[in-house]
Amino acid sequence: MKDISRDLTRRLLGDRKLTQLVVVALVVFLTFSILVPDLFLTPRNFVSMAFQIPEIALLALGVMLAMLTAGIDLSVVSMSNLAALSTAYLLVTQVTEGGGNVYLWIVIAIVIGIVVGLISGLANGAIIAGVGVTPILATLATLTLYNGIAVGIRNGQSIIGLPPEFTAIGNGSFLGIPIPMIILLVAGAGVALYINKTGLGMQSVLVGANQEAATYSAIGVKKVLLMTYTLSGGLSALAGLIIASRSASANPDYGSSYVLLAIVIVVLGGVNPYGGFGTVTGVILATAVLQMVASGFNALRFSQFFYQLAQGFVLIAVMILNTYVDKRRMRAKKDKAPQES
Amino acid sequence: MSYITPISKRKGLHLFGSPNEIFLIIAIAVLSLVIGFSNSVFFSIATPFDLLRSSLIEILFALGLLIVLVSGGIDISFPIVGIFAGYTTVVIMLNLGLDTYSLWIPLVLAAIVGAILGSVNALLIAGFGLPTLIATLGTTGMFRGFLLSYIGSVYIANIPLGLDEFSTADLISVQTSSGTLARLHVLVIPVLILAVAIAFMMRRTMFGRTVFAIGGNEESARRMGMAVRWTKARIYILVGALSGVAGILYISLQRKADPYDLAGTELEIIAAVVLGGASIMGGYGTVTGTILGVLLINLIKDNLILLGIPGSWQRAAIGLMLLIGVISQAISDKRRAKQATVIEEDAS
């Protein structure tokens, strides 16, 4: 009985957080629609947002997977840049020389990029699960290392001039929906399936809820962590490929502020930083909210630094709100308990 | 009781430094020899002087971070706190027409601004109980955003006279055989005094011991009646003030106030402190180790080129060093934990 009731409250809690987020999204949408209707409330703006959301959301999904297990992945941006750089390197060296099958090389380059991401993630997982290094430290070290490798292989320079066949992916639409958005939705559905329907995925939530209990319940914690960080690497690589495809270039230092943004999104999306709870819908919705804020600020001619200020503020406000609400609910539960018994 | 044994063992070793510190000294020595033999330019009095000069500011930041790590937290906002406090101090002084030769005015001002920012961290961490990584990540964004949108986003070349003059205040300057002047900055002395003071504070004062206790086991510290929250608040305010001082000294040594500076250096300094042996889980860390960690990282950074490794691989080298550091630390922690359980079983 206890398990069922706990499951139910968890689900309700999830719904509550999602409802909150929908309300926040509506408020943000309405605010900017009223403040700057001619710049914000245009189809063009929303199409452009739909192109910008996927890369960030994919990085945030990677962070979410780590946070579900009560860990964190600070290296997502480095992995995404490393993957993008590998793909871009292959593309410029193999495709522009003319001859050969352009599409074949694009497929190979994409696969290599994703493999680079998966291997980087696997290495994170091995350091965390195998050696037992704290996730913060492990991914901090690999953040520096992966970024260092990306800087090193190309002498710190970015790769530009990717073939148009490749950039068509990131800038194209299918049935009116931007292709990056389709990639995000497919990947998001995959992550949701992984968390909710596969053994390893469900175990990863349990590991986050209580690692010790999970160990005693014969859950292969190491295997779970290995899978978690590998998937995070794969999602980061996808994000990197979308960025490269959209901008027709790859830069080892792209998006250094994305780490803060990804964590803001994940926390705003209702993922518990102590592990054990999080939804894909929440994360994608939170990305949309922050993208609307960015776009609205842009329309209002606020600087990018003001956006950074707002991100920090949102992160802290949400965290304070969550602790406050959780405390109150705990107290309410305690008060209620004697009456029930 | 069982946990006391390994700690007292460690205490015995303190006469010669902890194993980690000995390892760092050996690493620095071996690396110096390797660099020196592959390029004799290295063997000059200018090398240690330059190394110290480039390490001094990082040592200040690292000592602050050490206190946070020992308490079981992490702070990534300190470089932004530093540049925020430093830049704001310069702006305030220039606006008030305080273009004086005084060094105390900017130092005190920067410490105050730093402490104010630190108290925001303190409020979030000690007051609201937010996880330290997320709280300081949030304040990093807020402080940086605030600095660049409201205080200023242009760099100031004509910093107050006192700060400008201090940048060339040398303790020793030696004419080297190659004709260049090797200079040791006077800042070495205050940094050394500060390091000794922090070591004393951590080892001998109630505050320092409480920090260790909180880092070792927060719940135990609370049940022993220690003022956990108040101590935590004081840690972040103190670290804010220390970062502020480091920030204004950085501006002085650079002879310009650039609000975009220092952002991103937190990783390198965390790397240095962790290499120095401080445990990210809290409860362990030494001032000597921290200083050695900073020196090792700067030695690598400044001299990779002499080894024939291109400068663009510098970051990767630091990342690799950090990785080796955290992995070896995790392995030795595991071994220690295993030893502790073995002793526990023996006792029972």
In this prediction, residue B342 carries a pLDDT of: 61
Are B51 and B298 spatial neighbours (Cβ–Cβ below 8 Å)?
yes
Asked if A142 lies within 8 A of B318 by C-beta distance, the reply is no
The average pLDDT across A219-228 equals 86
| H helix or E strand, kind and range, residue A178 | strand A177-178
B2's enclosing H/E stretch is none
Residue numbers in chain B where pLDDT is lower than 50? 1-15, 348
Identify the CA nearest to B172 among candidates B52, B348, B287.
Answer: B52
User: Which residue in A224, A221, A230 sits closest to A122, CA to CA?
Assistant: A230
Its pTM stands at 0.84
User: What are the C-alpha distances in Å from B98 to residues B95, B159, B165, B247, B253?
Assistant: 8, 11, 15, 19, 19
Which residues of chain A are within 8 Å of residue B327 when distances are taken between CB atoms?
Answer: 127, 131, 133
Residue scoring higher pLDDT (A338 or A18)? A18
At residue B43, φ and ψ (nearest 5 deg) are -80, 80
Whole-number CA gyration radius for chain A: 21
Average pLDDT of the segment spanning A315-319: 86
Q: What is the pLDDT of residues B271-322, one digit of tens each?
A: 889 888 888 788 888 999 999 999 988 888 888 777 777 778 888 888 888 8
Question: What are the start-end ranges of the H helices in chain B?
Answer: 4-13, 19-38, 46-70, 78-95, 104-122, 132-146, 161-166, 188-204, 206-216, 218-223, 228-254, 266-275, 287-303, 314-347
HSE on the CB side for B195, CA within 13 Å?
A: 21
> What is the CB-side half-sphere exposure of residue B35 using CA atoms within 13 A?
22
Structural domain total, chain A: 1
Query: B49-76: buried (b, 16+ CB within 10 Å) or exposed (e) per residue?
Result: bbbbbbbbbbbbbbbbbbbbbbbbbbbb
Beta-bridge mates of residue A173: A178
Q: What is the CATH number of the domain that holds B150?
A: 1.10.3470
Closest-CA distance, B143 to chain A, in angstroms, reads 7
pLDDT the model gives residue B216: 87
Range scoring the smallest mean pLDDT among A22-31, A90-99, B165-174: A90-99
Q: Is residue A136 part of a domain?
A: yes
This complex has an ipTM of: 0.82
Residues in contact with B181: Cβ distance below 8 Å, sequence separation at least 6, in sequence order: B173, B174, B175
Q: How far is CA A206 from CA A225, A271, A322, in A?
A: 11, 14, 21
Query: In terms of CA atoms, which chain B residue is nearest residue A155?
Result: B312
Look at strands A249-250 and A177-178 and give their pairing: unpaired
HSE (CB half, 13 Å, CA atoms) of B29? 6
How much is the pLDDT for B17? Answer: 59
Domain enclosing residue A197, as ranges: 2-334
Q: What is the pLDDT of residue A6?
A: 60
CB contacts, 8 Å: A308 with chain B = 141, 144-145, 148
Report the mean per-residue pLDDT for chain A: 83
CATH number of the CATH domain containing A134: 1.10.3470
Question: Does A309 touch chain B if contact means CB atoms closer than 8 Å?
Answer: yes
> Do A256 and B264 lie within an 8 Å CB cutoff?
yes
CB-based contact B319 A144, cutoff 8 Å: yes
- What is the count of residue pairs from A and B with beta carbons less than 8 Å apart? 150
pLDDT at position A229 is 94
> Residue B1: its pLDDT value, please?
35
Q: Which has the minimum average pLDDT: A206-210, A227-231, A262-266, B135-139?
A: A206-210
Length of chain B: 348
CB contact under 8 A, A320 and B267: no
Per-residue pLDDT, B7: 44
DSSP for B283-324? Answer: S---HHHHHHHHHHHHHHHHHTGGGT--GGGHHHHHHHHHHH
Q: Is residue A312 part of a domain?
A: yes
Cα–Cα dist B246/B273, whole Å:
16
Percentage of chain A beyond pLDDT 90 is: 19
A142 touches chain B (CB under 8 A): yes
Nearest chain A alpha carbon to B75: A136
Integer angstrom CA distances of residue B20 from A301, B14, B74, B274, B293: 52, 11, 21, 11, 10
pLDDT at B348: 45
Residue A340: inside a domain, yes or no? no
> φ, ψ for residue A294 (rounded to 5)?
-60, -45
State the SS3 of A105-160.
HHHHHHHHHHHHHHHHHHHHHHHHHHHCCCHHHHHHHHHHHHHHHHHHHCCCCCEE
Decide if A19 is inside a domain.
yes
DSSP β-bridge partners for residue B175? B181
Mean pLDDT of A123-136: 89
Q: What percent of chain A has pLDDT over 70?
A: 91
Across the range A45-72, mean pLDDT stands at: 89
DSSP code of A311?
H
The HSE-up count of residue B167 (CA atoms within 13 Å, CB side) is 15
- Name the domain count of chain B: 1
User: Which amino acid type is present at position B161?
Assistant: L
Give A236-266 pLDDT, tens digit per residue. Answer: 999 999 999 888 888 888 877 788 888 889 9
Q: Which of B131, B320, B331 sits opposite A145 (nearest CB)?
A: B320
At residue A159, φ and ψ (nearest 5 deg) are: -100, 125
Q: Cα A135–A138–A139 angle (5° rounding)?
A: 80
The residue type of B334 is: K
The string of pLDDT tens digits covering residues A145-201 is 999 898 888 877 888 878 877 888 878 778 878 888 989 999 999 998 898 888 888
Of A155, A267, A316, the CB nearest to B312: A155
A266: chain B residues, CB-CB within 8 Å: none
Q: Are B274 and A260 inside 8 Å of each other by CB?
A: no
Q: Are A152 and B313 a contacting pair at CB < 8 A?
A: yes
Give the torsion sign (CA, B334, B340, B343, B348).
negative
Q: Which domain holds residue B206?
A: 4-10+17-347
